[in-house]
């Protein structure tokens, strides 16, 4: 069996919830997911609707818009990560937003979003995020004020003197 058919079979088994207040955008996301083999797709029009649906359906992944009336994607993410009645605090969450300022991306990350994708969406961008959360899940971290995927993208394998020596070599290489 080829790698692509293995991945397609894996995605066929995924259950994905799309949380988006715009019906046309839900349809675009649905078509993109179906193009990689996702068959079980559940729609929700906002965060409150998603919470109700999460009590009815088991999902493997949420793709949520940020800006929605009633309950936005950040509030939904915080509920999933921190509420005692959340069905799965480890649920991967991909946030979709047209607001791509660094402080907004940091706010999403700090709420516990697993991946962030900017609008306008591309099929390639969505697939990359899907592969990231399915094939390469990040470990979760719990601190006094945060619970969610490890926010560090680059994991250093060096500590102490070894790390400082590596940083000096990197700096010297850049200035050469």
CATH code for the domain in which residue 78 is found: 3.40.50.2300
Do residues 95 and 77 touch, judged by C-beta distance below 8 A?
yes
Least Cα distance to 109 among 68, 138, 67, 150 occurs for 150
Sign of CA dihedral 112, 115, 16, 132: negative
Domain that holds residue 124: 3-175
Tally the domains of the chain.
Answer: 1
Q: Which pLDDT score, from 0 to 100, does residue 169 have?
A: 60
Looking at residue 1, its pLDDT comes to: 44
In the block, residue with structure tokens 């998603």 = 50
Per-residue pLDDT of the chain (176 residues; tens, 9 = 90+): 444 555 567 789 999 999 999 999 999 999 999 998 999 999 999 999 999 999 999 999 999 999 999 899 999 999 999 999 999 999 999 999 998 899 999 999 999 999 999 999 998 999 999 999 999 999 999 999 999 999 776 555 555 565 555 556 655 555 55
> Following DSSP, what letter does each residue of 40-61 receive, concatenated?
EEEEESSHHHHHHHHTT---SE
CA atoms within 13 A on the CB side of 17: 27
User: What's residue 152's pLDDT?
Assistant: 78
Task: Report pLDDT for 20.
Answer: 97
């Amino acid at each position: 069996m080829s790698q692509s058919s293995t991945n397609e079979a894996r995605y066929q088994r995924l259950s994905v919830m799309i949380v988006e207040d715009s019906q046309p955008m839900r349809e675009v996301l649905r078509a993109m997911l179906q193009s990689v083999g996702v068959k079980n797709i559940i729609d929700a029009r906002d965060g409150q609707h998603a919470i109700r649906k999460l009590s009815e359906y088991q999902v493997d992944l949420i793709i949520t818009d940020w800006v929605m009336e009633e309950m936005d994607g950040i509030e939904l993410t915080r509920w999933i990560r921190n509420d005692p009645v959340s069905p799965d605090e480890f649920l991967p969450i991909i946030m979709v937003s047209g607001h791509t300022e660094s402080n907004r991306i940091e706010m999403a990350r700090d709420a516990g979003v697993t991946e962030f994708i900017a609008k306008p969406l591309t099929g390639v961008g969505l697939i990359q995020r899907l592969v990231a959360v399915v094939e390469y899940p990040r470990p979760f971290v719990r601190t006094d004020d945060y619970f969610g995927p490890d926010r560090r993208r680059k994991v250093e394998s060096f500590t102490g003197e070894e790390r400082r020596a590596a940083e000096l070599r990197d700096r010297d290489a850049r200035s050469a």
